[in-house]
Chain A
Amino acid sequence: MNELEFRKRCIINPDDSDPDFQSALENDDYRRVQAECADFDEKLSGALRVPAPEGLQDRILAANRQPSFLARWKKKLAALTSLIVTLVLGLTLLLRPQLALSDMVIEHLYHDMAVMYSRDVIREEQVDEIVSHFGADLESSLVGIIRFIEDCRFADQRKGIHLVYDGQSGPVTVFYIPHRQIDRMQAIGKEEFQGIIFPHHDGTMAIVGVIGEDINSQKSKVEAAFNWDQASGKS
């Protein structure tokens, strides 16, 4: 190995383990060159070996940690809770149409609150005109004096009958919403109003009176008054 070659290799790696390089180190001059190169590498290494930021290892480990046994169970528990919540929510949503219908009835009652205090007397022809649109006939004498009747649009945009007549304790409101059925009777009410909502014909009927009104008795009257055997519904 000539001097030029030795110097080059010595600069690249003063600790070269190649046998030719090692045997060249028997020469004092070469050994001195090797020591100089090793010294330079040492200085360079010292300059580059700067300290790492404090806590670096901890931060890396904290960011990449295997979840503990407890944490894994917590994760499973969270998944289970989420499943239960989903199921409960699903069931609630399944039951929701009935609740929504009763809410809708109360909402409409409050929206048209003024008609409950009407003292108008609706003629039988007017009543017939409205109820016939829904395929029914109403024997008004069976319920009492009718103070209001309209074919109203409810919150779900479905048209139905809105009727008010004089009950025993005050105005009684009847709603009939066609083509939307509930599966059983429910009590409804808000503030001074109480009533029931129940399946009737091909839809749902609601009867609401003031507190103290005998709603069951009114239900019997209303059901007897409505006759659905006549012409098929036009609604």
Chain B
Amino acid sequence: MMAKQKRFEQLVQRYSTDMFRYALWLCGNREIAEDLVQEAFTRAWKNLHQLKDGNKEKAWLMTILRNENARRFQRVQPDLVDIEDHAWSMSADSGLEPEEQMERRILRKAMLDLEEEYREPLIMQVIHGFSCREIAETLELTENAVMTRIFRAKQKVKEALTEQTASAMARL
């Protein structure tokens, strides 16, 4: 009984932050992201016995989170608040130079502007360090499809960064 508790605590300690980031970039809203993570871990707690392979715990949690997100959309489609409106993003970048802060804001905005099919594999790679094969398994896609999506996603974000940085510099 206690072994279950201990294992669960380890999962929470290892993955809750990255799970939150993943949820945040999926839904674009901190409050909803926290709810999603809480719900995902509650489901994980109930179904912990199903997690046999310790090497797949991250992917397992990710799948639960994705399912929770899908359920959320079945229930209600909330009006999402622009992520840049939150004070937290200011405090998170407080130690950076103004140019770097601007760059981060552009990158975040560009991420949220991506269609979900491009955004999701990119988050999995950048935040979780998943390989294309692992992303393919989780998203039930071919590896080639994942590579194509990540390539296009990065191209789009990079273009946005180049364009908006140039435009910001021109305004100065």
Contacts and interface: CB of A to CB of B under 8 A. Distances in A.
Given A12-B147, A64-B45, A45 B127 contact: yes
A57 B111 CA distance: 26
Contacts of A45: 126-127
Given A11-B154, A12-B150, A52 B103 contact: no
Contacts of B131: 13
Consensus secondary structure, chain A interface: helix
Contact of A64 (B8, B25, B88, B104): B8
Interface stretch (B14-22, B49-57, B66-74): B14-22
B164 to A, nearest CB: 13
Contacts of A13: 125, 131-132, 150
A8 interface: yes
A43 B1 contact: no
Interface in B82-136: 88-89, 92, 103-104, 107-108, 111, 122-123, 125-127, 131-132
Given A52-B16, A56-B16, A60-B12, A47 B107 contact: yes
B162 to A, nearest CB: 11
A64 B89 contact: no
Given A43-B107, A66-B5, A48 B21 contact: yes
Consensus secondary structure, chain B interface: helix
A46 interface: yes
A13 B121 CA distance: 12
A64 B41 contact: yes
Nearest to A46: B104
B9 to A, nearest CB: 6
Given A12-B132, A45-B127, A66-B1, A50 B24 contact: yes
Given A13-B125, A57-B12, A52 B132 contact: no
B110 to A, nearest CB: 9
Interface of B: 1-2, 4-5, 8-9, 12-13, 16-17, 20-21, 24-25, 30, 34, 37-38, 41-42, 45, 88-89, 92, 103-104, 107-108, 111, 122-123, 125-127, 131-132, 147, 150-151, 154-155, 157-158
22 contacts: A8-B151, A12-B147, A12-B150, A12-B151, A13-B125, A13-B131, A13-B132, A40-B154, A41-B126, A44-B107, A44-B154, A47-B108, A48-B127, A50-B88, A50-B92, A51-B92, A52-B16, A53-B20, A60-B12, A60-B16, A60-B41, A66-B4
